[in-house]
Amino acid sequence: SSELTQDPAVSVALGQTVRITCQGDSLRSYYASWYQQKPGQAPVLVIYGKNNRPSGIPDRFSGSSSGNTASLTITGAQAEDEADYYCNSRDSSGNPWVFGGGTKLTVL
Amino acid sequence: QVQLVESGGGLVKPGGSLRLSCAASGFTFSDYYMSWIRQAPGKGLEWVSYISSSGSTIYYADSVKGRFTISRDNAKNSLYLQMNSLRAEDTAVYYCASGVDTAMGPLYWGQGTLVTVSS
């Protein structure tokens, strides 16, 4: 199956902009989706497709993609954005999806 | 509003079996694909199994193929996961999740049910 690689941890100062990346061969063919997961809670979809946000997701969250890399950008990070973030895409091997290993975002 | 409520988790011995259920409400269940996704303690998300809206297409992760069986009952708005020959590495929170377009990951997720495989 395909693999998606994420940095294990990233930090950002309150109010600043942070980019979380995800690399994998499947991203050359498929868009990434991004999930936010806070401790003890289920994941929440924050970005999907080219750059789409489900209802209720703040517009400080945005997505982009280039080559084999997808990025989630948080513009003006808030304390409540501190969470684990997972990327996900279709799996080139034929299975529905593959998940990245996750990035722990700390807001300083 | 959309609700996915998992049940059936618990403590089971290695080699044992367990059946998870997921009750769906707030959306047209028969229009949505369903999936089980798990998360081992302190670890990341792992896709486990998928079933299409009609039940005609099913996929399993290699790690569970031959041991787990996914099914759905559209008349009861319910999803199931029969887990046999359980191993310690199957210990995880199991999430029920749903969506309409597999080009994106699942939109709706339940709160999860914990499965612990230990002697």
Q: Model confidence over A36-92: pLDDT tens digits?
A: 999 999 999 999 999 999 999 999 999 999 999 999 999 999 999 999 999 999 988
Residue B97 token pair: 């999740």
| B107 interface with A at CB cutoff 8 Å | yes
Residue A93 has pLDDT above 90, yes or no: no
| B106 interface with A at CB cutoff 8 Å | yes
Quick: pLDDT tens for B36-86. 999 999 999 999 999 999 999 999 999 999 999 999 999 999 999 999 999
Q: Answer whether A6's CB lies under 8 Å from A21's CB.
A: yes
DSSP letters spanning B45-75: EEEEEEE-TTS--EEE-TTTTTTEEEEEETT
Q: Residue count of chain A, please give it.
A: 108
CA gap B13, A53 in Å, rounded:
42
Distance linking the first and last C-alpha atoms of chain A? 36
Residues of A in contact with B44 (CB under 8 A): 86, 99-102
**So what's the pLDDT on residue B86?**
98
Residue B105 C-alpha, separation from nearest chain A C-alpha, in angstroms? 6
Residue B83 C-alpha, separation from nearest chain A C-alpha, in angstroms? 19
| B42 interface with A at CB cutoff 8 Å | no
CA gap B100, B34 in Å, rounded:
9
| B50 interface with A at CB cutoff 8 Å | yes
Contact across the interface for A31 and B103, Cβ inside 8 Å? yes
What is the number of other CB atoms lying within 10 angstroms of the CB of residue B99? 21
CA gap B62, B60 in Å, rounded:
6
List the one residue out of A36, A59, A63, A60 whose CA is nearest residue A47: A63
CA angle B17, B22, B25 (to 5 degrees): 170
Place of tokens 């209802």: A55
Tell me, what DSSP letter sits at residue A52? B
